[in-house]
Amino acid sequence: MKLVSAKEMQNLDRLAMEEYGIPGIVLMENASKAVADVAVELLTENGGRKVMVLCGKGNNGGDGFGAARWLHNYGYDVQVLVLNAEYDDIQGDAACELKMLLNAGVEVAWVLDEEAMFVAEIDCNHADLIIDAMLGTGFSGGLRGYYKAMCQIVNASGKLVVAVDVPTGVNADSGAMDEDAILADATVTMQLVKAGMLQYPARECVGTLFVAEIGMPANLLDELHSKKYRLTADIVRDLLPLRKRDAHKGDAGRVVVVAGSTGFIGAAAMASRAVVKAGAGLVSLLTGESVAELLAIKLDEVMVHPLEEDAQGELTKDAVEDIAERVNVADVLAIGPGLGIGKRTQAAVRDILLQIEKPVVIDADALTALVGHTYILKEMGVPKVLTPHPGEFARLTGLSIAEVNANRMELAAQYAMKWDAVVVLKGAATVIGCPDGTVYVNPTGCEAMATGGMGDVLTGIIAGLAGQGITLQEATLCGVYLHGLAGELAADGKLGLAASEIALQLPEARRLVQEDVEVEELVCNPAIKVLE
């Protein structure tokens, strides 16, 4: 599913009018009817006949005027409030909608002073449903004045809320939001999903997301060169490796995991086990000799090989040579979980990355080894994926965590191109930047997955899939999606999920996707429904 920025959507509107000759009022009418129809659906489910429509002076308000007229024609009791504007301030297609609304006999009040705000609060509290058509995709920064006060009133009212295009107070591009942004039960967005609406914290404001097809020409949408996508089960299904009935373990991929050290054997175990459950045929764990025996006991299906350590428990030069030799006769390497951050081990990691000739998944302590040394990524001649959480990404880039979280999609794409690597910026929602600048937002996963070890499991899943005959980028897209889906299946709506439980649900998650079960109905948050 293509995602767009606010600017891209504005350009589509312009092209539809200028190059395809579609009047703007036609697009606005279609948008207005979609909003009204969603409001009717909610009112039918929950009861009530009284609707308050809150409008600004722009095109978002125009959609609100049109929705109010449709609802009036459907027989609902409708009242309209216009904030911070007078009649002459309404221009263009929005003015046409306002004129039709007034001619239909719908009451319109103009909120220009404190007394009007007081009356507006009373009216909102007597409504059964409120439509938010105040500020649209052009919003950025913070709410002020009557807009901020009205958002506070709506959020405190406890009424059903339908937002038009994007909830007021939400940045449609980044997903940032004002602290008083509208908390909608449903949002009706026009034609294409705006990228920020799938990112937190905005995702909490959206509710059920309805995508209204408002009459944009199909050719225009096909020609849109957006590089932002929502990752879906359909995309993953097309990429997942298939296995022949007569396949043997050598056909299913040989994966090497370099992980684990004293005190951190769990990370190595979880990553290795996830490789197995992702379907890899042969899995080898290379780990320090001080913990190898423990891990061999813990992992029945994994071949454990000890690596030479020095007196401080750090990897030696001989260990580097051993790793490079074993990796270069395998299909893929995963390196980092629980490996250690001692100086010699970190130097060993950098040496390994420069010597290997196979695709590599770089995680955890291996990411730490790259801090201040990201130039290595450009020197590597193999496909690579980095899987940082926001803190690790901040250390790699020199940015603050706040800066990272404020621009997740843009930064993931930017550094994927800079490093010539796939970048998995973990979190809610995880984003995947690709070396060509394409970026995907993953919809799967849940709050129960906020616990230690989840990243180790993800590393193993990606490596396990990459060994089965698909590219590392394809394995990453599949792995991130399946990781989140398996997490939702394992959690089953409850907290207390252990990371190791994710791997146990991987086969079922993969089956659901491959057999075209209605996975989207299971995992999407918010749910997305396309209105035709």
Q: What is the pLDDT of residues 406-419, one digit of tens each?
A: 899 999 999 999 99
Provide the pLDDT confidence category of residue 502 given band limits of 50, 70 and 90: very high
For the full predicted model, state whether its pTM sits above 0.85: yes
User: Using only C-alpha atoms, what is the Rg of the chain?
Assistant: 26
**Class assignment of domain 2-225?**
alpha beta
Three-state DSSP state, 148: helix
- Determine the average pLDDT of the residues in 464-483: 97
- Percentage of the chain beyond pLDDT 90 is 88
CA dihedral 139, 144, 150, 154 (to 10 degrees): 60
- Determine the average pLDDT of the residues in 154-183: 95
- Read off the tokens for 72: 């009036």
The answer on pLDDT for 24 being more than 90 is yes
pLDDT value of position 526: 57
User: 388-403 burial, b for 16+ CB within 10 Å, e for fewer?
Assistant: bbbebbbbbbebeeee
The answer on pLDDT for 239 being more than 90 is yes
The answer on pLDDT for 336 being more than 70 is yes
Distance between CA atoms of residues 469 and 471, nearest Å? 7
- Decide if 354 contacts 380 (C-beta within 8 A): yes
Helices (H), 278-433: 289-298, 317-327, 343-355, 365-368, 375-379, 390-397, 401-406, 408-419
Q: How far is CA 528 from CA 232, 293, 381, 418, 525, in A?
A: 11, 49, 40, 33, 8
The answer on pLDDT for 94 being more than 90 is yes
Distance between CA atoms of residues 330 and 335, nearest Å? 14
Distance between CA atoms of residues 285 and 261, nearest Å? 12
pLDDT value of position 501: 96
pLDDT value of position 524: 53
- Determine the average pLDDT of the residues in 265-272: 97
- Read off the tokens for 163: 């937002």
The answer on pLDDT for 277 being more than 90 is yes
- Determine the average pLDDT of the residues in 393-415: 96
Provide the pLDDT confidence category of residue 252 given band limits of 50, 70 and 90: confident
The answer on pLDDT for 156 being more than 80 is yes
Distance between CA atoms of residues 452 and 99, nearest Å? 58
- Determine the average pLDDT of the residues in 286-304: 96
Provide the pLDDT confidence category of residue 529 given band limits of 50, 70 and 90: confident
The strand pair at 254-258 and 332-335 is best described as parallel
User: Which of 44-48, 258-262, 522-526 is predicted least confidently?
Assistant: 522-526
Provide the pLDDT confidence category of residue 65 given band limits of 50, 70 and 90: very high
Average per-residue pLDDT for the chain: 94
β-strand partners of 131: 53, 162
- Percentage of the chain beyond pLDDT 70 is 98
Provide the pLDDT confidence category of residue 261 given band limits of 50, 70 and 90: very high
The answer on pLDDT for 245 being more than 90 is no
The kind and range of the H/E element at 440 are strand 439-441
Place of tokens 């919809």: 443
Helices (H), 57-113: 59-73, 92-103
- Determine the average pLDDT of the residues in 499-509: 96
3-state helix, strand, coil in the chain (%, to 5): 50, 15, 35
| Per-domain residue ranges of the chain | 2-225, 233-241+253-531
pLDDT value of position 247: 80
Provide the pLDDT confidence category of residue 338 given band limits of 50, 70 and 90: very high
The answer to whether domain 233-241+253-531 has CATH 3.40.1190.20 is yes
- Read off the tokens for 137: 């995709």
Find the length of the chain: 532
- Decide if 139 contacts 169 (C-beta within 8 A): yes
Place of tokens 């998995």: 424
Provide the pLDDT confidence category of residue 370 given band limits of 50, 70 and 90: very high
- Which segments of 144-250 are extended strands (E)? 160-164, 186-190, 193-194, 208-212, 228-230
The answer on pLDDT for 527 being more than 90 is no
